Structure 1
Amino acid sequence: MNTIRLNARRTVLQAIAAASLGAALMPAAYAAEAFPNKPITLVVPFVAGGTTDILARIVGQSLGEELGQPVIIDNRAGAGGNIGGQFAARAPADGYTIFMGTVGTHAINEWLYKKMPFNPTKDFAPLTRVANVPNLLVANPAQPFKNVKELISYAQAHPGQVNFGSSGSGSSIHLSGELFKMMAKVDMVHIPYKGSAPAVTDLLGNQIAIMFDNMPSAIQHVRSGKLRPLAVTTAKRSPELPDVPTIAEAGVPGYEATSWFGLFAPTKTPADVQVKLHAAIIKVLQKPDVIKKIGDQGGEVVTESQAEFGKFIAAENEKWKQVVKTSGATAG
């Protein structure tokens, strides 16, 4: 009888222990399974209206539908994307804050700024590239030059009198201009803005002469005739503007500069959450309507693994390191 009671008691204690262990493990398992169970913030390190913002809103809307939770765009502009980058890097690493990084924030800035408020490599986990976007050399129609050769001739005859705007010091737009100055041997003045949109506004008002803008934020003004396209910065012509030559074709052989945009999570974000985010983003980037919307902006959708994106960033980092050093560009 005592043996039966002892065995019964042991069975009850084992059941209680198993239940306790299950309860202890359940929150972590449930949290991973339930992600996301609240809105996700997508930090954009530039002002609304620029290319980074346009792409973030296209992807963010569809990503929210895919994950079943709203994706809220949070524009935190300044310091060439470093303010937004710092904010996202310090956010809780739980998957509810992701970051739309660029060639500037993750391949240029650490060579351009004396002090960085975050480490692009150590503080972020790459999810996937979203798109490659050509930069488009555009001019206000009131300017006296109609093509690249005329621009070079005019700038050489008027050193320091042609100004070009950018979305900020150290942005790909800025360095596209610095690379042009170096290769075309012209003296032009850089005017940095806090984002592409205000720079385009001044370009439309002829407050600045030219701009090496990302195509999505400039193409609508080219199509309306408010801006004059001179050339694209990529090695090949853009399907969206097939009659516009490359800068290399137009008079500066060997010139090439491409902007890219990608999504990141704070580096300590749980691996399973990163995997879920990556899978959802890839699904979004394969949707025909998303491909078309990005294509309409002059962009080319890119999908890749997290490892592939990491290798790409490493190569870009080395490339732009050399451009910054050669051009002597500095910021902050």
Structure 2
Amino acid sequence: MPKAITNVYKILMGVAVAAATATTVFAQASYPSRPVRLIVSQAPGGSSDTIARMWAEHAGKAIGATIVVENKPGAGGLIAAQNALNAPADGYTLLLGSVSLMVLNQFTYKPLPYNPEKDFVGVTMLTTVPFVLSANPATGIKTLKDLTEKAKAAPGKLNFASAGLGNSTHLAVELVSNALGISMTHIPYKGEADGILATIGGQTEVMAPVYGTALPHIKNHKLNPLAVLSPQRTPELPDVPTLGELGVKGFDNMGWSAVVARAGTPADVVEKLNKATAAFHQSPDVQAKLKSMGVIPMSGPSALVMETAARDAKAWGPTLGALNLSAK
């Protein structure tokens, strides 16, 4: 190839590369230029949905765009996760991550159709939340001792509800049951709200919903609280002991929520969303609402999400593996 032509070719290639780079930089710098989707694996009405909508409102204002919550319940969160992974890694489709999606599902769904560590990147931590082990009042179960005695007298007869197979509300009860040496039958529902209604209605006898979802039903005497899965008793339920007080250790911090994105999402987009979360955590209205729900704000760098997931998988993996749980 003649030298002159070669030089022209090099110049044109350089211009093309520069243009492509400039286009990419501009696209990232202009983010967001359209509405952002936040996919939630729970049905509307539960505490996870409430937290997602508050974050969407405040973070959306901070980045100057509308963040639309889309509820995709069912299949233990697999539908929501797959929906997020089917979208481009451009920051316009996010997923409300949780201990269920990012940790527990890998011990329930084998093979899990996604790899939490490789397929997602953390965006921001949002909250941690206690669970409340609760029973339908008609069962006569008022304490953890009552539950243990009733379950041991008739193994497998008591049913417990959850927000879905592999959900934290499922595996929390499995882990507690294992620690207590009891056996109950699991009945999964398409979301926390449905599981609560089933327990109140008597289709199931026991559930461990998150604190905010359980509290109004406890206040209305539709559920008997047996124990809280938290480091200390809560102000709204001062007479309800923690599992730790009752001698059942290792359940202080089972529930957390976060925002994640598909792996490959530009780092500057992730950082922009992480910084926008300050508007959520610093809002007096959000702080008051979270307090009323018994939810604790949790902030930190984007890397904290996957670090927390790895920590929990290591801590609970041996016990969950021994339970030999699997999706039917």
Structure 1 length as normaliser, TM-score? 0.88
2:267 to 271, 282, 286: 271
- Is the CA contact 1:235–1:255 (under 8 Å) kept in the aligned structure 2? no
Q: Judging changes above 3 Å, is the alpha-carbon distance between structure 1 residues 253 and 101 closer, same or farther for their aligned structure 2 residues?
A: same
Q: Which amino acid aligns with 2:251?
A: E
- Is the CA contact 1:58–1:293 (under 8 Å) kept in the aligned structure 2? no
RMSD, matched Cα:
2.2
Cα distance per residue 1:189-219 (max 9 Å; x no partner): 1111111111111111111111011112211
Q: Judging changes above 3 Å, is the alpha-carbon distance between structure 1 residues 27 and 248 closer, same or farther for their aligned structure 2 residues?
A: same
1:187 Cα deviation after fit = 2.1
1:24 Cα deviation after fit = 6.0
- Is the CA contact 1:130–1:261 (under 8 Å) kept in the aligned structure 2? yes
Q: How do residues 255-294 of structure 1 correspond to structure 2 at under 5 angstroms?
A: 255-256=250-251, 258-294=254-290
Residue in structure 2 matched with residue 9 of structure 1 by the alignment: none
**1:133 equivalenced with 2:117 (yes/no):** no
Q: Judging changes above 3 Å, is the alpha-carbon distance between structure 1 residues 317 and 19 closer, same or farther for their aligned structure 2 residues?
A: closer
Q: Judging changes above 3 Å, is the alpha-carbon distance between structure 1 residues 144 and 97 closer, same or farther for their aligned structure 2 residues?
A: same
Cα distance per residue 1:227-269 (max 9 Å; x no partner): 22111012322234232111232x4432515211111011111
1:93 to 89, 94, 98: 89
Residue in structure 2 matched with residue 4 of structure 1 by the alignment: none
Query: Using the alignment, how far apart are the partners of 1:151 and 1:20 within structure 2?
Result: 70
Q: Judging changes above 3 Å, is the alpha-carbon distance between structure 1 residues 24 and 127 closer, same or farther for their aligned structure 2 residues?
A: closer
Where structure 1 has 5 or more consecutive residues not aligned to the other structure, the ranges are 1-17
Q: Judging changes above 3 Å, is the alpha-carbon distance between structure 1 residues 92 and 205 closer, same or farther for their aligned structure 2 residues?
A: same
- Tell me the secondary structure at the aligned position of residue 61 of structure 2: helix
- Is the CA contact 1:95–1:274 (under 8 Å) kept in the aligned structure 2? yes
Q: Which amino acid aligns with 1:113?
A: Y
Cα distance per residue 1:32-64 (max 9 Å; x no partner): 222112111001112222232121112112122
Cα distance per residue 1:56-91 (max 9 Å; x no partner): 112112122222211111111222111111111221
**1:109 equivalenced with 2:105 (yes/no):** yes
1:41 to 13, 26, 37: 37
Residue in structure 2 matched with residue 254 of structure 1 by the alignment: 249
Residue in structure 2 matched with residue 58 of structure 1 by the alignment: 54
**1:124 equivalenced with 2:132 (yes/no):** no
Query: Using the alignment, how far apart are the partners of 1:105 and 1:23 within structure 2?
Result: 39
Residues 305-314 or 103-112, more deviating: 305-314
Residue in structure 1 matched with residue 212 of structure 2 by the alignment: 216
Query: Using the alignment, how far apart are the partners of 1:209 and 1:216 within structure 2?
Result: 19
Query: Using the alignment, how far apart are the partners of 1:331 and 1:21 within structure 2?
Result: 48
1:22 Cα deviation after fit = 8.0
Query: Using the alignment, how far apart are the partners of 1:239 and 1:95 within structure 2?
Result: 38
- Is the CA contact 2:54–2:280 (under 8 Å) kept in the aligned structure 1? no
Query: Using the alignment, how far apart are the partners of 1:299 and 1:28 within structure 2?
Result: 39
Residue in structure 2 matched with residue 70 of structure 1 by the alignment: 66
**1:154 equivalenced with 2:150 (yes/no):** yes
Q: Judging changes above 3 Å, is the alpha-carbon distance between structure 1 residues 25 and 109 closer, same or farther for their aligned structure 2 residues?
A: closer
Where structure 2 has 5 or more consecutive residues not aligned to the other structure, the ranges are 1-13
Residue in structure 2 matched with residue 243 of structure 1 by the alignment: 239
Residue identity (%): 36
Residue in structure 2 matched with residue 14 of structure 1 by the alignment: none
**1:181 equivalenced with 2:149 (yes/no):** no
Residue in structure 2 matched with residue 318 of structure 1 by the alignment: 314
Query: Using the alignment, how far apart are the partners of 2:20 and 2:124 within structure 1?
Result: 34
- Is the CA contact 1:180–1:255 (under 8 Å) kept in the aligned structure 2? no
Query: Using the alignment, how far apart are the partners of 1:201 and 1:235 within structure 2?
Result: 27
**1:142 equivalenced with 2:138 (yes/no):** yes
**1:301 equivalenced with 2:268 (yes/no):** no
Q: Judging changes above 3 Å, is the alpha-carbon distance between structure 1 residues 170 and 21 closer, same or farther for their aligned structure 2 residues?
A: closer
Q: Judging changes above 3 Å, is the alpha-carbon distance between structure 1 residues 123 and 20 closer, same or farther for their aligned structure 2 residues?
A: closer
